[in-house]
Structure 1
């Protein structure tokens, strides 16, 4: 066997053939089974490619055989001989006779998938070794334009790409399995007295309209500045984390049976500012008083008690600014692995960075929304991403937002399962106050302000699995809190805000 030497990106030798992880025997068994029975290819193609073979001659044999099979042609020692008889590496191994020996030595094709997985795992180990040496080599070189923090980001991106390779395709599944999954989802809703199949957002009318926050869904929550989109996202995060209860799920696994573990990427506000908002809601002390420290002793005691009650809430905040989508995904995976993860919130979408390969902002946003949808599907959780709206809303008579107001709207609208807009008419009405000498206009304005006070709307502009429409909520600005709005016919009920 010819000796193979591995090199890293800097050209330095890493290890020789004796120490790099590999199994020549597994490669020989897989190739032998493939050349004996071409049907084997369909069972291994989703796991490995030519690049995963350690011996370059084996890689070329697999590549040639795969190309023949893809065209519905026979790949056997006889047919491959014509393509590989001039291959110098194959000549060192005995020429075309080596192909015959491979086919003759194949014991059985039943274990071929195990061989493929073994070859793949060993290839990943070699790539990890090469990446480790590459990182060490770059860190050792003192270069002005190569900052350590940039090297960390680059290393994380390379590891992310490597982890992405490990996702084998699930391929087609039977309709029976799909139907069973659908019945399980419906059963979950039925067990909750016909309520929700997803996680409750803690807001009754929103839950009714959405059916809860569904796994693998990407929900976009958009609004103009000061509409309260961060407040609504914070309220939902708090409601889900507060309701968290762990137990045995219908499928027999352990996890959240109520509420859930929440991951919150706060790219605009610091973790401390976000926590202050949540504490304001929980303690019912205005956030302005918390910021200024203008509290009585009783209020401060109430504030501290609320903080103690929230200590056990499974709400995790990451306030790293300008996170690349690759790091965002990697950190979400890590949180799911270490603490569990049932809901992910990103505040906000336009502050996430792409991979930096595109100079076009629309293409970058498209890459980010596709990445967020991929996270939702891969981790099997709902992902809520906040988004800005364009200024064209302000120039219209009716300020209610619509889908075309989304900034870089094409990809956001396309990838999202649900698009929601937060709208508070009170905000705009406040800025239309007439002068005090115009008595009739002032009286009409005051009547309008009384009607709109403490009211907010969440407009469902798109919902892939349900109706669109408007949800009316209450809004308490001093606590930055959204709540269930008591309708006129519910006034006699003891409904909790």
Structure 2
């Protein structure tokens, strides 16, 4: 490996500077990482300095470094193989006159050399995968290449250093202003105007909607995809665990056209010339919309992360829909499932923050209660929690019938970014046309005092 791309001089200088000024490490802010160093001795010294500083050690010198090395397997041997105490002192002497900007420049050289090594390693990995998987399709190869590229680029991305608020004020305030609209709320609007008084799809936020099994979760997602992407040309990524793309396409065309989904499924709409025209017009509209629907019953967090990063990088993803939070039952008291559901919520919230996009997801309601099943962590980490609830016949009658007052309602229980509803009987009335799968705001609302 002597021909490997490396910059030993840059490594010596950066480590030497940090031996003299370990507090300057914070100025790098991820520009260079332990794994970027080529020489094992430099890698070990950087690792020890980083951890001593993170733990709040006041004095970081040769003695404290050697003391910490004794607690790490083979660390002393690695340091001794690279010159030991004499080498550490040599590095300190070599770099004592360098400044912070010098350190940043040489750190960039280290990162560049590491990036080139990883790029070559990625090419070798791609070659092995192509040779070892002769049945890969064109699409498989494209996705594999894109994922590896995004993974490599993200590995070397940095936040650009620490800055005072004054230095980023105009940029960040511009981001705040970019969320404003003439209707008086921020973020991407939901389809239901009254819901926008409570939540919209804000970058970095996670919206969780609960519903009973087989009762409206996916159709809410399809209606929102249609509203944002077909009607407003906003890129939407829809990652699905249950619904294949042909079913999704059929349903979104039904929502757009107003033709019953069952008639599109069995083709009987073709007996009506008006319906034919409606469906053909909808097919053209949906075809042009920036929608990525991907079905996979084996989604995992790595797949979701890489696919979402790819969409954000290449298509400026506006909203990610994950349908939906669930784990397999493993028996016992359910503790493992509860924790896993909570971990998925944390993962999705972190992903929304990392990519600076809104994420909409769904969870099961408990069979006989208005609360999310199985995990208090969902409540703890979601930005907003709402429920999609079928109305009882008594509630439908109270609200002057299904056509006027709706068939279902949404109730907002928890909301980090807006108001909540104090009375579970006074949610937002929705009319859910189960033939065309359209969901609209009902004309009559039994308004809660909180949002009158």
Alignment of 1:239-318 (within 5 A): 239-244=227-232, 260-295=234-269, 296-318=272-294
- Pick from 365, 374, 381 the counterpart of residue 415 of structure 1: 381
Q: Deviations over 1:88-139 (max 9, x none)?
A: 6666655544334323333622221232243245445545655766787799
Secondary structure of 2:198's counterpart equals helix
- For residues 488 and 389 of structure 1, what CA distance do their matches in structure 2 show? 24
1:486 corresponds in structure 2 to 443
Q: Contact conserved, 1:157 with 1:326, CA < 8 A, in 2?
A: no
Q: Contact conserved, 1:263 with 1:316, CA < 8 A, in 2?
A: yes
Post-superposition offset of 1:189: 5.9
Post-superposition offset of 1:378: 1.3
Q: Deviations over 1:220-277 (max 9, x none)?
A: 1110134322111111111011343xxxxxxxxxxxxxx6211111221111111111
Q: Contact conserved, 1:65 with 1:75, CA < 8 A, in 2?
A: no
2:417 corresponds in structure 1 to 465
Post-superposition offset of 1:41: 2.4
Secondary structure of 1:317's counterpart equals strand
1:118 corresponds in structure 2 to 109
Q: Contact conserved, 2:428 with 2:445, CA < 8 A, in 1?
A: no
Alignment of 1:446-465 (within 5 A): 451-452=401-402, 454-465=406-417
1:367 corresponds in structure 2 to 343
- For residues 82 and 321 of structure 1, what CA distance do their matches in structure 2 show? 50
Q: Contact conserved, 2:208 with 2:362, CA < 8 A, in 1?
A: yes
Q: Deviations over 1:365-407 (max 9, x none)?
A: 22221111111111111100121222233xxxxxxx2xxx312
- For residues 202 and 52 of structure 2, what CA distance do their matches in structure 1 show? 44
1:38 corresponds in structure 2 to 22
Q: Deviations over 1:259-299 (max 9, x none)?
A: 62111112211111111111112111111111121122331
2:424 corresponds in structure 1 to none
Structure 2: which 5+ runs fail to align? 422-426, 447-452
Q: Scaled by the length of structure 1, what TM-score is found?
A: 0.72
Post-superposition offset of 1:484: 2.4
Post-superposition offset of 1:21: 2.5
- The structure with more radius of gyration: 1
2:58 corresponds in structure 1 to 72
- For residues 68 and 209 of structure 2, what CA distance do their matches in structure 1 show? 57
CA RMSD of aligned residues (A): 4.1
Alignment of 1:117-266 (within 5 A): 117-123=108-114, 125-126=116-117, 166=156, 168=158, 174=164, 176=166, 183-184=173-174, 187-188=177-178, 192-210=181-199, 212-244=200-232, 260-266=234-240
Task: Give the number of equivalent residue pairs.
Answer: 420
- For residues 445 and 77 of structure 2, what CA distance do their matches in structure 1 show? 86
Over 3 Å counting, the alpha-carbon distance change for 1:52 and 1:271 in structure 2 is same
Secondary structure of 1:386's counterpart equals strand
Secondary structure of 1:349's counterpart equals coil
Secondary structure of 2:326's counterpart equals helix
Structure 1: which 5+ runs fail to align? 1-15, 245-258, 394-400, 430-443, 490-497
Over 3 Å counting, the alpha-carbon distance change for 1:180 and 1:222 in structure 2 is farther
Post-superposition offset of 1:337: 1.5
Q: Scaled by the length of structure 2, what TM-score is found?
A: 0.78
2:44 corresponds in structure 1 to 60
Over 3 Å counting, the alpha-carbon distance change for 1:260 and 1:160 in structure 2 is closer
Q: Deviations over 1:337-368 (max 9, x none)?
A: 12220001111221699xxxx99322322222
The more displaced of 199-208 and 177-186 is: 177-186
